Structure formats: structure tokens, C-alpha cells
Chains A and B, each alone.
Chain A
Amino acid sequence: MKQQSPTLLRFPGSLLWLLPLIGLLLLFWNTDTVGSVWWYIAIPALVACVLIELFTTVWFGITILVLLFFYCSIGSSGVPISFAIWEPSAWVNLREMPGLEMTEFEWFHWWPFKWLVAILCLNMSIVTIRRIPLNILTAGVWTIHIGVVVMVIGSVVYFSQKIEGDVLVSRRNVVIQVQGGDPVSMVVTPSNTIEINGTSFAITDINPNWELLSGDDIGKKTYAVTISVDSQDESFMRQLIAGYPEYTEDIIRSDDPDQPMSRAKNVLGTALVDETLQMSLEYDAKDTFYVTQSGAIYIRGLSSTGVPETEWQERPISKLPRFNDYISGYDEVRTPGTPEAHAQTINPLTLHVPPQSADDPIEGDIIVSSYLRYAFMDSQTTGGGTELFPTVWVTLRKGNEAVQSLEMYAFDPQSSTADVSLMTYKWLTNENELNTLKKSLSATLFATVGGEHIPLQITNNPEFQPIGDSTFSYRIQSIQNNLAIGNNLVSLAQVELKNGEKTWVRWVFDSPEMNRDVVEGKDHDGANFIDDTITMEYSPGSAPITIVGGIEDGKHLLLTALTGDEPTETVMEVGSVINLTPEVTITLDKAEAYARTVTKPTIVPAVQRDPSASNMYSMVQVVIPSPDGTSTVWLPYHHYPFESEQDAVRRFQFKPTALQLPNGKIIEMMFSRRSAKLDAPVVLDSFEVDSHLGGFTGRTSSILNWRSLIKFLDGSEDTIAVSVNDPKPHGDFWFFQSQWDPPDPASQGLNYTVLGVGNRHGIFPMLFGCCLTVAGMVWAFYVKPTIKRKRQQAAYTEVAS
């Protein structure tokens, strides 16, 4: 006779479990512990008790498994939106959509998944206890189910405490102490520079495999850094060798042309030029790591001279989106595509980010109001300015095809997108200036011989042309207009002069004081004339295509001198097409007298985004409310919140945003990741690369292994090797090899390492559960039939006999 279940474990008695369920729900609700570990232990268990009949069925378990399958699939691959499933564009990931914005980790840590797993475990346990008698034949099933439950318990411990991130550790910092000053450091990275009291210190060379040439460790390879020291008084280079401060020495210029640089020891008799200047290579100790897929705003106050007053003050951002754009208005960004595309992106955020420290220069919350997944800051000129800044936008076309769109500024021709030697925009205020411009539109060349001012024709005639009635003749070698020399633009006619049998070249500049004759093999500094009885003047004229504005409101003229004939003048109307040549036309698209430059993010279209870039091109807009007014600023993403330019390593940007608040306070802000403390500061002693045959070729396939030799500054002197497939624990965290500084044409690399950091609580229960499960499967599928066979044979033999 089948044994009757207790009343509380069968319907309708099981409904009595509703009472403790409701009580616990209220308790969790009031104590704000909904979603905690205890919630997932207690509530599903009571739900199972209420619905005990349902939880005792295998079909219910199968249903949960099917739901888990779909949940996993949707969160991992996404869902296809076309039949071409082999195309990446066919897959849309629901968890990345607005409203969810979840990483894989978050999707599989979300309450529906936890509920499904909890219900599955309860169903499995209840069915096992109530429906499967424990005996030798069912030991396999029991073991499997116990193994799964143990594994899930381990997973709960693991995932509830999981923290994962990375730390960038450079090999060394250069610590510099000038006499009477405090030590200042900069990280060793190519071309890093720092200025202290008017002396510039620049890293000029880094050798990650410097071979010692003397001493006890001769032949040993270490890390050597050369720093150029430049001041008004002295200029030399100092070489520092990691681990061997006694080998520090200076290299100075010498008079020996065969060896322009010499060891100070050989020239001056001492190793150091300046004994009071102390420099050393010190470890770059890092005591924090940055959490994967997190967000934080870093803030610090700046002095009026721009010097940080404190270290970065971190404000973690909760629920920051990752995959979609959220903007608070059309005007905040530039978006590609149609107005409809604009409408889709309007979706402002209101994420309050409170201060975490008393040192934070802003007292109240700041608000993240926009987030862009993939954008770049871009400056564009537009109308609506308050100061006169004439700007025109024109398009050159060949046939119906736009060849070039140009933006030209009258007051800043150098910044215009047109080649100023071919095309320029002038802002004139009256007709006189226009007439002068028209006259000077063509280039002119004059020679003065014996007081006579003679105009010369600018031609490419290869023959010498006479200069008036003088004995001189000339031919043009080349015309080079608008050459950038330093901060100036100069124009130059290279003219070959001949007087009798003598020929020479004269450079005739648009500034006559720069004119000179060129003698082969001599420096061209200063005026130097072979024959000063002839002087010359060159005027480059205006560009062959000159747009003129300002004479009349809204009216623009096009002056062209393309054919060498008289310049032509055409009125330019916005939108009208003017032929420059029979094939090429010019159109004035827009003209603004009061233009202004607006810098704001430009959103990169989805199809142009590199998926591997992840959130490296993301940015947030931050609103800083205060009683004096509100400030708004865009902050681009930084992978690491370096303290200063000197602390930043190559490949990682350091562009904090400074702004002045309405109350006059100057602050600096940066958008980066949340930090977490390590158990002890970590330093990188050395970095090694093992390669395959033929050494490193520049491709990963030639690499065998990367190895970071690290130390923890916790009193231990041990060097620990962290390499691929060989992570090392320290305290609560494991450290594994993640990224490196590969050599490239600019550097021999190996200056830093990026170590992955993560904890792994609950691993052993998980592993034990998995092993139990495997053992149970083997028992259920292979041992059980053998036992049954023996029993069957015995029974059939008994029956037969």
C-alpha cells in the first residue's frame, strides 16, 4: 500500500505554507533584502512547499530545463533576425538592448536565472527524495543530483563574491630629485617628459634587454633607461640601469666629430655631470586594480595654475548602460543619418553619482545624463556666434559628383580645409580693399637694377629672359607659395640669374629681407648676395580662387585667376553653381559672418563600429548642479585613471577634462572604471617573452609565452612568475597574465604588463559537485546495469530451476 504523504506535503494542506511565505516576503521587503542569498534560499523553498505536488513532477523539471536552455541561448548568442544566421548582422542580443543593458555576467546573475536554477534544484531534490528510493541501483541518480546541488551551492558562493579586473604595472618609474626639491617621478614609457624648475627631463631610450658589460653580473640582462636632461645651463643624458644604481652615468657631447657623445667619466673624470641631481629607477607599485565592465567618475580640484590639489576622488556609477546611446537632447551630439535616427537616440539618463569621500571637491551628487557607446569628440564650425568670424562652406564638383567639400575661415586661413595656396576666403570691409585685392590677385616679380624698377614675367620658359636693358637675365626655377616655416607662411620664387658667364640662384621671398643668393655647400642663414647690384621683389598674389565677403551684407564674390589672364569676378549666391573650368564647378553652400566652433560628440554609426573596441570609445555626459548654476561636460572613457600625463603609459590615453564651475572653482574630471584594493601593492620586476624559432616576428603566432616577474610589497622579497596558464595567488586574489607591451617601430616594448586580477571563492565545492556528478553518471549508466544483470541472471536461474 502506497504510503500517504503528510498533510503539509500534499494539496490542499501544502497551502498552509503560504503563511510563512507571506511572512517572509514581508520581512525581506521591510529589511530591504529582496534578492539577497537568503532570499534565494528561503523563498523558492517555501514556494516549492506551497506547490509541492508540482515540484514533485519530472515534467516540471523538464520544463525548467527547457526554459534554462532558452534563457542561456538568448543571453549568449542572442536571437537571429534573419535566416542568414552565418552573418554577424543577423544576430541581435536582447540583453544588450535598452532597458536591459547587461553583460553576460549580469544576464546570468539576474533574478530570472537565479529563480530558474533555484527551482530546478528544489524540483530535483524533491523528486529525488519523494520519488526515488535510495538503494544501490539508484545511487547513481542520487549522486548526480547531489553533485548538481553541491555545484550550484559552490556557484552561488563563487558568483555572489566574484570580482574581476586588471591592473597595469609599469616596469619602473624614474624618480628625479633636484637639489632642494621633492622627489618627482614619471613612468618609464617612450618619450615621457617632465619639467622641474625649468629643466626638462625626457626619456630618450629604453632598452629592456640591456646586457651588463662589467662587474660580477657581466652578461646578465636588465632594464636600462636613458634620460635627456636639458636646461639653460647644461644638457646631457643620464643612463639608469635597473637594479644597478652604481652603474648610473652621464653621457655628454664631446668635440670629437667621430664620437659626438662620450661618457662623462672619460671627458670630465666623473660619472655624473651634476652630482646634486639625483635620479633613480624605482618600482611602479600599484595597490589598486580596475573592475571589468564598471564605471566611475574621477574628480579632483585644480589650483589656478592647473596643478591638482588632491588625488583623484572616485565616484562609482551604478547601473551605467554599456551598449546603447542615451542622450538628453538633439543638440547634445551629432548623429549620423536621418531625423528618425535622432528620435531613436533621445533617451536621457538620470544616474545620481554621490561623493564617496570628504576630499571630493564637489559636495552633492553629480548626474550622468547621457551615455554614448561609440563616439568621438569633434569640433565643428557653425553659425550663431557673437563675434565676427566669417566662414564659408563650398563644394567643388566634377560633373554631378562632389569632389571636395571645404570649410574656409577668413580670419584663420591656416585652419581651413582648403589648400590656401589655391583657394582662400577674404573678409573685406570696403571697395578700396577689394580693388587692392583685385590688383594683387596675380603674382608679381620685380627686379631693380641701377635704380630702374623692372617688372618680370613669371613663366616656365627654360631660356634666360633679359631683365630690361641690363646685362642681367633670368629664368624661373620654381614658385613655392605658402610654405610653412616655423609659425609663419612664406612664399618664394627661386630665380636663376645670369650676368655674363656667371649664373646663380636667388631665393626671392615675399618678405624682401629674407632674400638671399644660394651657394652650394654653404649655410643659407642670413642675407648673402653674390651680386648686390640687382635686387628683387616677389609678391605671390592671392590664391587663384578667392572668395570675398564683407563688402555688402550677405554678398560674396568669387575672384578667379586660373588661366593667367585678367582675374574674373562673379557674384556667389548660396546654392548657385559657378563654373571654374568647363568640368569643375564651385557652389557656395553656406556662409556665416558670426560663426563659432562647437565641440561635441559625434556618434559613430553602428555599422562602422569595431566590435572588438568594446567600450573604449564610450563617453558620458555629466551634469554638476550647484546653487550658482549648472555645469555640463562630456567625459570620454579612460581605461585607467592615471594621476598625470607622466603616469600614463603609451596606448592608453590621458585626457582629463578641466572645467570651471559657476562658483569659480576649477575641477578636473575623468570617466573610467571602478577601482578595488589589492591585498598588497604589486610591482613588476621584469617581463620576459619566449618565442618560437626565429624570434618575435611582430605576430602573436611567433610567441610561446609571456611572463611577468612580479613582487608584492608585503615584506616578502620573493619574485613570482605569472605567465599564461600559470596564474599565481596572493591574498584574496589570483593574478594572471593578460596583456603586454609589444615591440613596434617606436619602441622595443616590454615596459609594462597588464595582470588580470580576480577572486575565486567556492571553486572547490563546484569542482567537488562536478566530480560527484560524473561519478553518478558512470554509476547510473554502467555500474547499475551490471548489478541488475547479476540480479536478473540469479532470478531467472532460480525461476528456471
Chain B
Amino acid sequence: MKTLFAFILALICSTTLFAQPSEFAKSVDMSPLSDNVAVFTDGRVKSFETFARSYMPYIMGSKSFEGQAVSFTYFDMMILPERYYGQDIIYVKHKGLRAAIIGEVDITDPQTKERMDRFMKTGLVSREVLQSQTVSKLLNSLRKDVRRFATPIEGISGAMGASDPRSLWGSLKLIPPPSGSFNQPWSTLEGAEDQNIIESWRRLTEAWQDGNADEVNVELKQLAVLIPALAKGSDIYPSPSKLWLESIYFRMGNFTSIWLVYLVSVVLLLMAFVYRFKRVGNIGLFIFTIAVLLNTLAVVWRWYVSGRYPNTNMFEAITTAAWMGGVFGVFMECFVRKTAMKYIFALGSGIAAMVALLAVRLYPLELNPQVSNKMPVLHDIWLYIHVNFIIFAYCLIFVAAVCAIIYLIRRIVQKTKHQNGKQDYARAGGVASLVEVRPDKKGGTTPALKSNMGSVLDGATMILVELSFILLWAGIVMGAIWADHSWGRPWGWDPKEVFALNTFLIFVVLIHARIKVQDKGLWTAWLALLGCAVMLFNWIIINFTISGLHSYA
């Protein structure tokens, strides 16, 4: 419990809390520029804040330099590159590569050893270490191992290149085309013709080099007014409110902290479900609803700042799946509020959403939250239909697995108490257990589902399995329809297609095995869990390790 608490605390408190930025860094207020000036990058314009947050991870991963704001570090690295000489600013993601690099460094000096130990933990190392003869030689030789090391070493080269002040300058395309034309390229400040901007920039760089924060702040405010004014009268420049909202969205960590709200609701709902604490359950449901509303706000916010429905990359697919799970949980709780299944859907959805949001928070490099343009092939209505069916199905499969795990835990507990839980299952099936009726003692009818926890959990699992079964199949069919008119063939045996089919096969086995086996609840739970594992395998290993045509999703 202590470990869990420490883990949660560590997640809440980012590393920046412990790092100490310089006085100058503390005094410079980048927000006027960050929130009001747009930067062009690959067919999109972003607020400078967002741009810096998308650029700096190429250099430093998800780490910050001495607790500085990312936008500050961008300018500082560009204007005062010498400050970063010898500093650990290049992020090496691959742990095997870190160890190999350390093996080439002379660590007899205790200070170097300490630094290398830190490198092993954080992944941050200086350019100078990477450029040393022995390490360069190592990297050149490992680069030939295309499958294992070529990509991480390219990442290192990319980080070194990106940290070059010339790259930082060349990427900072702040100046819109004078014609205001949609198809004309944007330029760096070198392309600025407005003397006020040129002068202001000169004063800014001088003040920055002198460490004069007051003067820097004045010029940042000045540029924040002058640069957007260049696009006056054309619609290529984003509105100030959109830029501001975009900056806030990323500054708030893409609202992934909502996982904490889900966590609170999950704790309460679990207590309510297990011990039938009605008041605790109601509070849990209330907090769960708040979490879903916040999640909805995050999705809508992203929808607005990206200019499109958020489902075109892994980050968006996972966060949207979390939101879908939350909405589904609220809907189902309304539907089953007077049955024995109360709390279970909110609990399952809450855990699913919490895990999803936690995953994108913990793995910002793999699940990149940056907003980018859609691949050309994704500009199609089927993107919205097929992908949403699939991610909703995947979300339900995860929720079903949560119910199955709780069921299995209960069975283990029963076993320790020498109780037989074999008979605790939903006899009529999933939805049927709520719809179908059996006679009650008063001569009326009552839902076919029995109120013992095993039956409830099994029934909930089956409801989720049945729905995900249809959604997954329909999603696969819709994907085939899209593939047919996109790639000229409906089915190409791409790994992603095959493992979506494999996930479906597991559920086909589940439904048929349930007819034949005696211990229906146990088989259902294990197969639901297996189906979830195959689904996760498809979403994680197939996507990141085994490439295919669906590598963008």
C-alpha cells in the first residue's frame, strides 16, 4: 500500500517540482509569446507553447532542463547555446543503448560515474559524451544493426541535430506569408520585413544574452502583438482564443490528470460494489460522473484545438476510448440502476478509463499527444465509423476483462473459504439476464439474473462481451469496406486485421464454449481475459513492434 501511495505521489508530483530553474528563467514570462504567436510546422500552425512542447521531446524526451518551462528552454538553447555545452540534454530512450554508451565512457572519475549512473536512470546525456570518439564509433557500428539499433541511433542523431541552435532557429517559422495565401510557406524571423519586429527581436536577443528579464518580457509582449498583426485580414492565422486554448490544453498535460478523479471514484465504487455501501456508492457514482464530464471536456477541447474529431493517432484513440468507456459507464448505470448490476459498469469503465489515461500520461513519447495532420489515407468518413466502432469495442473488451478479473478474484476468495462458486453465473446470458424474467415469491416476475455477486459479475461480463462482439465484428466489416475503396481490396491479411479477427475468434470460442462447459462463469472470465490480452497485443505489440498497413493507428 505504501508503495502504491508513493507511486501515486510520484505521478502527481512531476520532476519539475524538484528541479530549480535559474532566477532569469523564473523571471522571464514566455506566456505572451507562447499563447499568442503561431508557429508553422508541417502543414499546421500551433501556438508557440504547443510547438515548443512538440519540438523539445525530440531532444530531451519528456524531461525538462533544470525545471525550466519548455518554451523558455527552446529560446534559451537557441540564443545561448553555450549554456548547454556539456549539459545532459540529449535523451537516449533505448536502455540497452544507454548501457552500451556507458561502457565506452571512462568512469574512473567518481563525478563521471555519478553522471553516468544518472544517465542510466534518466536517459539524459551530454552531446559531448555522444560525440566522443569511442561513443561515436560505437554508435556507427551499432547503426548497422538495422532491426535493433538503427532507429534509436537515428533518434540520437535527430536529437543532436534538433538541439543545434541553427535547427531551433530554422524550425521557428513564425512569419506568415505576406500574401496571406493558404499555399505559401511560412518563414523564420529572417523573412520578417517589418522593422519593428526585426528591432524587437534584436533587443530581445541582446537582453536575453545580458540576462535582463524585464527587457526580455517587454520584447516578448511586443512580439506577441507585432507578429500576429502580420496576418491581419487573412484567415490563415489562428484566432487568439484558439491559440490560448491550445496552449492551456498542453500546459494542463492534455487533461490526463483526470485519471486521479477516476481513481477516487473507482475506490468508492469498489467499496460500494463489494460491501453494498449505498451512500458510498452514490458518492462514487457522482465522482465518476464528474470524471466523465471532465473527460468529455478534454475530448471536446482537443477536438476544438485540433480542428477535427480526435481519433487519428494512438494518443487520441486511447483517450477517446477512455471517454467512450466513461460515457458507456454512465449510460449503463442509468439503465441498471434498479438491478443487482448497479455500480459494476461504472467501476469497470472507471478502471478502464483510469488505466488508459494513466498509460498516455506515463508514456508520452510512445503515445505522442501532439496534434498533427492526418495521413492522406485517413481523410475519409470511414475513419470516423470504422475506428470508433473498433475503439469502442476495444474499450468494452477491457471493461469486460475488469469484470472478469473481479469475478476470478471472487472465485479465488471462495476457494480459500472452501465455497463452490460454480453455480454463480448468469443463466440467461448477458442482456438476456436483465431482460428475461423468472417468477418471484410474490407471484410476479423478477429479472432472470440472481443477485449474488458471481452472477452479477458474470452477467456484466456477458453484456460487455455480447456488445463488443457485435461492435468488433461490425468494425472489422467496416474496416474491410474502407480498405476496399482505399487500397482496392477489403482484406489483405495485414497483422492488425488478422489480430482484430483473432480477438473476435476468442469471443466466438467464448460464446460457444459457454454453451457446453459446466463452470460457465470461470470459462467466461478466463476467455474474456484472453480476448482482452489479444486485443492489447494487437494495440501494443502489433502497432509498435510488428509493422503493417495500419502503422499510423
Q: List 6 A-B contacts (CB under 8 A).
A: A691-B183, A694-B185, A767-B477, A771-B477, A782-B431, A784-B432
Known pairs A767-B477, A782-B431 / 5 extra A-B pairs, C-beta < 8 Å = A77-B546, A78-B546, A781-B467, A792-B438, A800-B444
Check if A88 sits within 8 Å of B147, measured CB to CB: yes
A36 to B493, CA, bound (A): 22
CB distance from A797 to the nearest CB of B (A): 8
Chain A binder among B63-71, B193-201, B212-220, B501-509: B501-509
| Residues of A with C-beta under 8 A to B43 | 691-694, 697, 701-704
Of listed A73, A76, A91, residue having the most chain B CB within 10 A: A76
Contact partner, A693, options B182, B431, B502, B541, Cβ 8 Å? B182
Chain A binder among B113-121, B293-301, B323-331, B482-490: B482-490
Check if B379 sits within 8 Å of A704, measured CB to CB: yes
Chain A binder among B16-24, B242-250, B257-265, B370-378: B370-378
A692 to B43, CA, bound (A): 5
Of listed A763, A785, A792, residue having the most chain B CB within 10 A: A785
| Residues of A with C-beta under 8 A to B375 | 700-701
Q: How large is the interface on A (under 10, 10 to 19, 20 to 34, 35 or more residues)?
A: 35 or more
Q: For the complex, is B166 an interface residue (Cβ under 8 Å from A)?
A: no
CB distance from A656 to the nearest CB of B (A): 29
Q: For the complex, is A303 an interface residue (Cβ under 8 Å from B)?
A: no
Q: Which residue of B lies closest to A762 (CB)?
A: B490
A319 to B489, CA, bound (A): 24
A606 to B380, CA, bound (A): 38
CB distance from B248 to the nearest CB of A (A): 22
Check if A725 sits within 8 Å of B380, measured CB to CB: yes
| Contact flag A774-B474 (CB < 8 Å), given A59-B516, A65-B509, A694-B43 | yes
| Contact flag A701-B505 (CB < 8 Å), given A89-B147, A108-B493 | no
A562 to B488, CA, bound (A): 69
A700 to B144, CA, bound (A): 26
CB distance from A676 to the nearest CB of B (A): 14
Contact partner, B435, options A164, A691, A760, A785, Cβ 8 Å? A785
Check if A789 sits within 8 Å of B512, measured CB to CB: no
Check if A607 sits within 8 Å of B545, measured CB to CB: no
Contact partner, B148, options A87, A108, A610, Cβ 8 Å? A87
What is the predominant secondary structure among interface residues of chain A facing chain B? helix
The 8 closest A-B pairs by CB, nearest first: A692-B43, A702-B43, A785-B432, A76-B498, A104-B493, A785-B435, A736-B488, A770-B477
Query: Which residues 343-389 of B sit at the A interface, judged by CB distance below 8 A?
Result: 372-373, 375-377, 379-380
Check if B477 sits within 8 Å of A774, measured CB to CB: yes
| Residues of A with C-beta under 8 A to B158 | none
Q: For the complex, is B439 an interface residue (Cβ under 8 Å from A)?
A: yes
Contact partner, A760, options B431, B467, B488, Cβ 8 Å? B488
Contact partner, B473, options A158, A734, A773, A784, Cβ 8 Å? A773
Q: Which residue of A lies closest to B469 (CB)?
A: A777
| Residues of B with C-beta under 8 A to A105 | 492-493
Query: Which residues 54-78 of A sit at the B interface, judged by CB distance below 8 A?
Result: 58-59, 61-62, 65-66, 68-69, 72-73, 75-78
A701 to B182, CA, bound (A): 16
Query: Which residues 498-543 of B sit at the A interface, judged by CB distance below 8 A?
Result: 498-499, 501-502, 505-506, 508-509, 512-513, 515-516, 537, 540-542
Q: For the complex, is A758 an interface residue (Cβ under 8 Å from B)?
A: yes
Check if B185 sits within 8 Å of A695, measured CB to CB: yes
Chain B proximity mask over A71-111: 1 for CB below 8 Å, otherwise 0: 01101111000000111111100000000000011011000
Q: For the complex, is B288 an interface residue (Cβ under 8 Å from A)?
A: no
| Residues of B with C-beta under 8 A to A770 | 473, 477, 480
A61 to B541, CA, bound (A): 29
Contact partner, A88, options B45, B428, B506, B545, Cβ 8 Å? B545
Query: Which residues 779-796 of A sit at the B interface, judged by CB distance below 8 A?
Result: 781-782, 784-786, 788-789, 792-793, 796
Q: For the complex, is B398 an interface residue (Cβ under 8 Å from A)?
A: no
| Residues of A with C-beta under 8 A to B512 | 58, 61-62, 65
| Residues of B with C-beta under 8 A to A26 | none
Check if B515 sits within 8 Å of A58, measured CB to CB: yes
| Contact flag A72-B489 (CB < 8 Å), given A58-B515, A700-B376 | no
Q: For the complex, is B186 an interface residue (Cβ under 8 Å from A)?
A: yes
A607 to B44, CA, bound (A): 37
Q: For the complex, is B304 an interface residue (Cβ under 8 Å from A)?
A: no
| Contact flag A789-B488 (CB < 8 Å), given A77-B542, A77-B546, A701-B42 | no
Q: For the complex, is A223 an interface residue (Cβ under 8 Å from B)?
A: no
A734 to B488, CA, bound (A): 6
| Contact flag A76-B493 (CB < 8 Å), given A62-B509, A66-B509, A774-B473 | yes
Query: Which residues 134-157 of B sit at the A interface, judged by CB distance below 8 A?
Result: 144-148
Of listed B144, B146, B473, B486, residue having the most chain A CB within 10 A: B146
Contact partner, B545, options A87, A700, A701, Cβ 8 Å? A87
Q: Which residue of B lies closest to A59 (CB)?
A: B516
| Contact flag A611-B545 (CB < 8 Å), given A164-B489, A693-B40 | no
CB distance from A124 to the nearest CB of B (A): 10
Q: For the complex, is A742 an interface residue (Cβ under 8 Å from B)?
A: no
| Residues of B with C-beta under 8 A to A792 | 436-438, 445
Q: For the complex, is A706 an interface residue (Cβ under 8 Å from B)?
A: yes
Q: For the complex, is B481 an interface residue (Cβ under 8 Å from A)?
A: yes
| Residues of A with C-beta under 8 A to B466 | 777, 781
Query: Which residues 591-618 of A sit at the B interface, judged by CB distance below 8 A?
Result: 605-612
| Contact flag A611-B432 (CB < 8 Å), given A77-B495, A727-B488, A774-B474 | no
Check if A76 sits within 8 Å of B513, measured CB to CB: no
CB distance from B254 to the nearest CB of A (A): 20
Q: For the complex, is A746 an interface residue (Cβ under 8 Å from B)?
A: no
Q: For the complex, is B236 an interface residue (Cβ under 8 Å from A)?
A: yes
| Residues of B with C-beta under 8 A to A606 | 147
Q: For the complex, is B547 an interface residue (Cβ under 8 Å from A)?
A: yes
Query: Which residues 442-462 of B sit at the A interface, judged by CB distance below 8 A?
Result: 443-445
